[in-house]
Structure 1
Amino acid sequence: MSTSFRSCLVLGGFILAYIAYLLLGALVFSAIERPVEETMKSDLNSLKEEFLNLSCINATALEIFLEKVLQANKYGVSVLENASLPTNWDLASALFFANTMVTTVGYGHTTPLSDAGKAFSIVYALIGVPFTMLVLTACVQRLMHPLTYGPISVCQRRAGLQHRSASVLHFIMMLVLVVLGFFVVPALVFSTIEETWSFLDSFYFCFISLCTIGLGDFVPAEKPGQRLRALYKISVMVYLFVGLMVMFLVLRTFHKLADVHGWTAFFQLPSYEEEDDDKEPIMGQDPDDESPEAVKPLDPSSQVSYNSINR
């Protein structure tokens, strides 16, 4: 079995393990938080009925009612019947919450209600955040050659461009495609599905999400009566993961571009990993295959540069 094929199998196993990790987290969050949410809804409805049955509304009763309503609304539980979702902790919603947590997007519209949920969130994120970074890094590493080195090499061979010109042309084309494919088109889709979102709102949501800022002022699939809400949530979750991977790819390509044009050296910044590092997968490498030379300190004069792309 070749090293490349073995590393692909390992990468596929990591992706499946990551999906299983998200599902496990969703099931645990749903099991812990859904009963607490139901209890809070029941208490809120009882308080509402008691409030409505009062013959005379006094200031103390009103303050207690408003305090309970605001506290419940903080956790996504509304007293309004036409504004309340069935639950914030069904499997799809819990999966969406787990995904936003480990990708550090964190909209904050849904948060753990119980102490057990908060404690589990700490442990889950402690493992899940570096796991997510590992999976993203491994995927981007596999995409660097077909989406970065390959196109630049084609520009050099077929268009006769120098490596600097080819790298700039490739980066501009990649940036345009990313903006169209992961900002403009998704913004059009979101503005169509979310009736209260304008195109600017949708574009703003895409930008805030893929930059992992996650302010939470716009969250998809929160409208009451949303059709195919579970499928919509999962689709957004996939969009976020793929979008983060593409953003990471753009950043790595830009760092390569900076090395080519000497910007990193000019600003005395560390140069990017060399091309040989990208050729060796971070997962699936057999330790027995390492040669004695591989463990020797690198000689700066012998390092392979970004300029060595085949023409």
Structure 2
Amino acid sequence: MVFAGGGWCARFMQRHGSGLNFVLLVLAYILYLAVGAGIFSAIELPYEGELRRELREARRDFLGNNTCVSDARLEELLARALEASNYGVSVLGNETSRNWDFVSSLFFTSTVLTTTGYGHAVPLSDLGKAFCIFYSLIGIPITLFFLSATVERLVVLVTRRPISYFHRRWAMSRSRLAVLHAACLSLVMAVLFLFIPAWIFVTLEENWNFLDSLYFCFISLTTIGLGDYVPGETHSKGANPHPHLYRLGITVYLLLGLVWILVVMETCCELPQMKLLRQKFYQENVRELDSETTNIIDRDHLNEQMTDIPDHMTLDQLPAISSVSEQADNLRQNNTSVPYTPASGAAVNGNLR
């Protein structure tokens, strides 16, 4: 009875393994969301309470020092200032507003079409809101197509060709070489598009420290775009003498950085290990590996076996591996499914002879 139950469990796991793995993946993701929410709440809630207390004290002090201003009038002024701030118009330094000149509008369209969406500048008019819907409806698919075509060409240049070249030159395992290449590419991307730009923003933005700048770069290039930090929003003309050129440079940086982020992600997704991992969560009818991944794994496994052969053994002393025709004959005779083993070594020499 125990063995029957164990056999039923084994058959059930074999039949519904991918579905159970997917359920576990969903539960793990929900748990990750809950853990993140709990940690953020524990970290940020005390700061929010402190800020609320400071604002209440500042308001009380202002009303106490300016008895001619009523609480209702102050409430009305603050509400109007906050509403304007939500539309990208600040009550501070209003004369330096540059939200909708051409360069700023170009920055806005780039953040909209890449779905970054800082939210610091939004259409004010009904016509602008309607055009934003129409423009995004057409522009976002075009942007995704443009990015996919660009990333595909770059992946060939910076990933597939280098891996093939060094695989032939060094005779190194292709899967291990792919992992090493992905790690190096990620490191280069982090230096060029995260750390160096963060250092540049520290020197240009007077109120940002390095963590603020690094935070902005990461939030922007991952298209999260919270909008709490937006470069070029300083109200001092002396601190930013060329605002249009600065905003244009930021636009170019965001587009290039997004492309390279996608290149790194595509490189990581093409790793044979990642493909094997994804297969564990697919439906049964699509769980078979593609031919490229299968060939990579077979070649790496064969190379590892060849490297384990003692030096004193010759080619003729290697264990024979059945050829394709022999495996096909066995298949027809036994009417069973046998995994294909690539022919090499002595078997190849025997077939040629």
TM-score of the aligned structures, taking structure 2 as reference length: 0.59
Q: Which letter does structure 2 place at the counterpart of 1:165?
A: R
1:165-184 equivalence runs, <5 A: 165-184=176-195
Give the structure 2 partner of residue 187 of structure 1.
198
Aligned partner (choices 73, 97, 122) of residue 85 of structure 2: 73
Higher relative contact order (CA 8 A, sep 6+): 1
Where in structure 1 are there 5+ consecutive unaligned residues? 1-54, 273-299
Q: Which letter does structure 1 place at the counterpart of 2:255?
A: F
Aligned partner (choices 215, 218, 241) of residue 204 of structure 1: 215
Pair 1:266 & 2:280 matched: yes
Give the structure 1 partner of residue 323 of structure 2.
none
Q: What CA distance in whole angstroms lies between the structure 1 residues aligned with 2:292 and 2:146?
A: 26
Identity %: 42
Q: CA deviation at 1:150?
A: 1.2
Where in structure 2 are there 5+ consecutive unaligned residues? 1-66, 300-353
Aligned partner (choices 92, 103, 113) of residue 114 of structure 2: 103
Pair 306,137 (structure 1): closer, same or farther in 2 beyond 3 Å: farther
Give the structure 2 partner of residue 253 of structure 1.
267
Give the structure 1 partner of residue 133 of structure 2.
122
Q: What CA distance in whole angstroms lies between the structure 2 residues aligned with 1:62 and 1:189?
A: 40
Q: CA deviation at 1:77?
A: 1.9
Q: CA deviation at 1:122?
A: 0.7
Pair 255,79 (structure 1): closer, same or farther in 2 beyond 3 Å: closer
The alignment yields a C-alpha RMSD, in angstroms, of: 2.8
Pair 1:218 & 2:220 matched: no
Q: What CA distance in whole angstroms lies between the structure 1 residues aligned with 2:270 and 2:88?
A: 44
User: Larger radius of gyration, structure 1 or 2?
Assistant: 2
Pair 1:94 & 2:94 matched: no
Aligned partner (choices 149, 155, 165) of residue 166 of structure 2: 155
Q: Which letter does structure 2 place at the counterpart of 1:110?
A: A
Residue-by-residue CA offset, 1:200-236 (whole Å, 9 max, x unaligned): 1111111101111000111011112122111111111
TM-score of the aligned structures, taking structure 1 as reference length: 0.66
Pair 170,122 (structure 1): closer, same or farther in 2 beyond 3 Å: same
Q: What CA distance in whole angstroms lies between the structure 2 residues aligned with 1:133 and 1:105?
A: 13
Q: Which letter does structure 2 place at the counterpart of 1:77?
A: V
Pair 1:164 & 2:175 matched: yes
